[in-house]
Amino acid sequence: MTFAAFDLDGALYTGHIIEGMMHHHRAHRVKRLPLLIYIATHFALWPLWRLGLMSELQGRQLWLRDMGWTIRGWTVEEAAAAFAWIAEQYVLPRVRPDVMKRLWQHQARGDRVVIVSGTLSPMLHAIGRALGVQETVGTPAVPKAGRYTGASQLPTCQGAGKVTRLKEHLGGEGETLWRQSYAYADSFTDLPLLEQVGHPIAVYPDAKLSAYARSRGWQVLGE
């Protein structure tokens, strides 16, 4: 069966999952200090990327690796309630209708639709459920004794990690399946996933991905 892999942030919707966490934590007055520490320490990484001392991919990987700080100490049930709120109140109002139309078309013809994102796996599952997608592949959050520790299981689902985790999810399907399948993503850091499939689609791409996609003759959806 052919699959269609969709990136989340910037592709399926216009927001960023960290902003969704900020909206939730501020509205419910929870975990605001851990969130502030997380944002302050990780925003400090961007000047290193701008100066060429760190790649964009490395910066994104660190953001994703430490995202669990924002839910540390929560029970699985407490986090699930927050994730459902973020999915309904933050993600759904920001979905891209044209990209969702593509997703529905894949579902209608029987393709296996998977959302693949660096977002914490349990949160991504809640978002997938809200979008009508059963299969999601994200960065696993590590629980212990029913509470999240703040750690994430590596590799993060970013860059080549997206390919690794999607291959694990698909259960070692052969190269023929990948050549027949589709990937939708917005960032140049998603190049490993896009180049892995036979039908790569750049979705509202950043400047670097847009230029690369056009040089390769790939389809570009939105700008």
- Domain tally, the chain: 1
DSSP code, position 157: S
- The distance from CA 192 to its chain's CA centroid, rounded to whole angstroms, is 14
Q: What is the pLDDT of residue 64?
A: 74
The pLDDT of residue 49 is: 62
* pLDDT for position 40: 77
Q: Which among 186, 75, 90, 184 has a CA at the least distance from the CA of 130?
A: 90
Looking at residue 171, its pLDDT comes to: 85
pLDDT value of residue 30: 87
Are 78 and 70 spatial neighbours (Cβ–Cβ below 8 Å)? no
Tokens 């851990």 locate to 34
Q: What is the pTM for the complete model shown? A: 0.89
Q: Judge if the upstream peptide bond of residue 155 is cis by omega within 30 degrees of 0.
A: yes
Structure confidence at residue 59 (pLDDT)? 66
User: Would you state the pLDDT for residue 206?
Assistant: 93
Q: Write out the residue range of the structural domain in which residue 194 sits.
A: 3-221
Q: Report the CATH number that the domain containing residue 152 is assigned in CATH.
A: 3.40.50.1000
Strands 3-6 and 147-152: unpaired
> What's the one-letter identity of residue 221?
L
Q: How many CB atoms lie within 10 A of CB 109?
A: 9
Task: Tell me which residues of the chain have a pLDDT lower than 50.
Answer: none
Please give the pLDDT value at position 53.
65
110: left (phi over 0), alpha (psi -120 to 50) or beta: left
Rounded CA-CA distance 216/213 in Å is 5
